[in-house]
């Protein structure tokens, strides 16, 4: 079968990083170590379900890999060569008897390769239900890798066929369209930090970045009942429009520190060498960009004892002033993928909660899915993902059956 295979090549990775730094919005397919190749299909482990892919979403982590922008510290948590794609909507083609959804069932795949999938006793994190923080992503019955699609044996969904552990398959309700179902993974990536850092009644929230993660963050807050003020920093007009539809109270197109101070009734304090500080401000920031500027602006905008949540994945953040962290006694935390989380006095499975909300009809999805490409048009698809302003895209996907 034809699949998008990523191979190990340090020279090509470095060339991708160089050219992406020069032309950030262009996909340099001639140097990337990715190609549409003929590969043999084989489930990673006995007892796994065979899946026929309907859609496979393009994630920001896929884009970062192709840009040569992944953290070097995370190199041990992948194994190569690998078929990309962990945002998977598929039909069960074959299933082990009496285990997991039956053949013909439409499913989404929770792609975390934790202890249960690696056929290991649960580590402390997995025992708590925090399997997104599994301590054995390098061990057990699989090669190193934290998710499907970043693993040499557990292939991703950018292929006609893939396979997954039956315990990681969640049936999709009949009333949820394919276009909505493929949003589950990106939605869960926002839902997990929202559940773990849910603002108190009366608090205010700043969401920085209005791509798919920022849009989901606003919607998840509203879907779970948060009635406080939400301000969304959005770069492009189409993102701003979607943010309003999702429940943001105010959109900042140019999130200067003066504008951030005004939005949260804070006091802007000019500084001699530029930048400026803010007295007062917002209670919680969800940073869906995670750049040096957004991190520093977040810390400056938070009021005393505020909370910063990094949703966007960042590696090295240079020249960031952290003085607000200690001066205002802020809490800084990150988030990784999805697992279970506390909600309404119980532990809920984040992926399932997202599916339930999508099925309820109360979660606004219009405009979030931007279209699907056949695998043969992979260069065009990744170019659209690289240049979101030019393509006007939110969530893009591959449709291997086209």
Same domain, yes or no: 125 and 224: no
Note down the domain range covering 217. 187-340
Query: What CATH number does residue 272 fall under?
Result: 3.40.50.720
Q: Is the pLDDT of residue 248 over 80?
A: yes
Place of tokens 């607000």: 324
How far, in Å, CA of 43 to CA of 158, rounded? 15
Is there a domain that residue 355 lies in?
no
Domain end position, chosen among 340, 356, 378: 340
Q: What is the pLDDT of residue 318?
A: 76
* pLDDT tens digits along 101-116: 999 999 999 999 999 9
Query: What CATH number does residue 56 fall under?
Result: 3.90.180.10
* pLDDT tens digits along 280-297: 999 999 999 988 889 989
Instruction: Provide, rounded to the nearest whole percent, the portion of the chain with pLDDT above 70.
Output: 99
Same domain, yes or no: 65 and 114: yes
Q: Are strands 282-287 and 302-310 parallel, antiparallel or unpaired?
A: parallel
Place of tokens 């140097």: 31
How far, in Å, CA of 189 to CA of 172, rounded? 18
Give the range among 122-131, 326-335, 353-362 with minimum mean pLDDT: 326-335
* pLDDT tens digits along 128-142: 999 999 999 999 999
Same domain, yes or no: 40 and 70: yes
Same domain, yes or no: 167 and 197: no
Q: What is the DSSP letter of 358?
A: H
Same domain, yes or no: 135 and 82: yes
Q: How far is CA 296 from the centre of its chain?
A: 22
Q: Is the pLDDT of residue 370 over 70?
A: yes
Same domain, yes or no: 234 and 156: no
How far, in Å, CA of 284 to CA of 230, rounded? 10
pTM of the predicted protein model: 0.91
């Amino acid at each position: 079968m034809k699949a998008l295979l990523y191979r190990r090549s340090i020279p090509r990775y470095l060339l991708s990083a160089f050219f992406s730094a020069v032309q950030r919005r262009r996909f340099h397919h001639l140097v990337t170590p990715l190609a549409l190749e003929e590969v043999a299909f084989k489930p990673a482990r006995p007892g796994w379900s065979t899946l026929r892919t309907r859609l496979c979403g393009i994630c920001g982590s896929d884009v970062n890999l192709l840009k040569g922008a992944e953290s070097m510290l995370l190199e041990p948590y992948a194994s190569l060569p690998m078929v990309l794609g962990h945002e998977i909507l598929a039909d069960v083609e074959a299933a082990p008897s009496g285990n997991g959804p039956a053949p013909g069932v439409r499913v989404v795949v929770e792609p975390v390769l934790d202890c249960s999938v690696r056929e290991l006793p649960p580590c402390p994190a997995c025992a708590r239900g925090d399997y997104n923080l599994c301590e054995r992503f390098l061990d057990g019955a699989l090669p190193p890798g934290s998710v499907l699609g970043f693993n040499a044996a557990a292939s991703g969904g950018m292929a006609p066929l893939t396979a997954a552990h039956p315990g990681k398959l969640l049936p999709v309700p009949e009333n949820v369209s394919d276009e909505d179902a493929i949003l589950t993974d990106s939605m869960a990536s926002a839902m997990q930090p929202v559940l773990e850092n849910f603002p108190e009644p009366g608090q205010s929230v700043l969401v920085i970045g209005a791509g798919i993660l920022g849009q989901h963050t606003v919607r998840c807050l509203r879907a779970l009942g948060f009635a406080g003020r939400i301000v969304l920093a959005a770069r492009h007009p189409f993102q701003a429009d979607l943010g309003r539809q999702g429940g943001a109270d105010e959109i900042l197109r140019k999130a200067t520190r003066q504008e951030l101070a005004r939005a949260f009734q804070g006091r802007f304090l000019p500084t001699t060498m530029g930048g400026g500080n803010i007295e007062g401000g917002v209670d919680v920031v969800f940073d869906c960009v995670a750049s040096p500027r957004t991190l520093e602006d977040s810390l400056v905008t938070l009021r005393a004892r505020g909370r910063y949540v990094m949703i966007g994945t960042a590696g090295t953040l240079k020249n960031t002033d952290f003085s607000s962290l200690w001066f205002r006694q802020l809490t800084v935390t990150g988030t990784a993928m999805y697992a279970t989380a506390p909600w309404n006095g119980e532990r809920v499975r984040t992926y399932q909660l997202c599916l339930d909300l999508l099925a309820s009809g109360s979660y606004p999805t219009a405009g979030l899915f931007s279209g699907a490409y056949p695998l043969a048009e992979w260069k065009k698809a990744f170019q659209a993902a690289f240049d979101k302003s030019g393509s006007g895209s939110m969530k893009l996907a591959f449709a291997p059956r086209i």
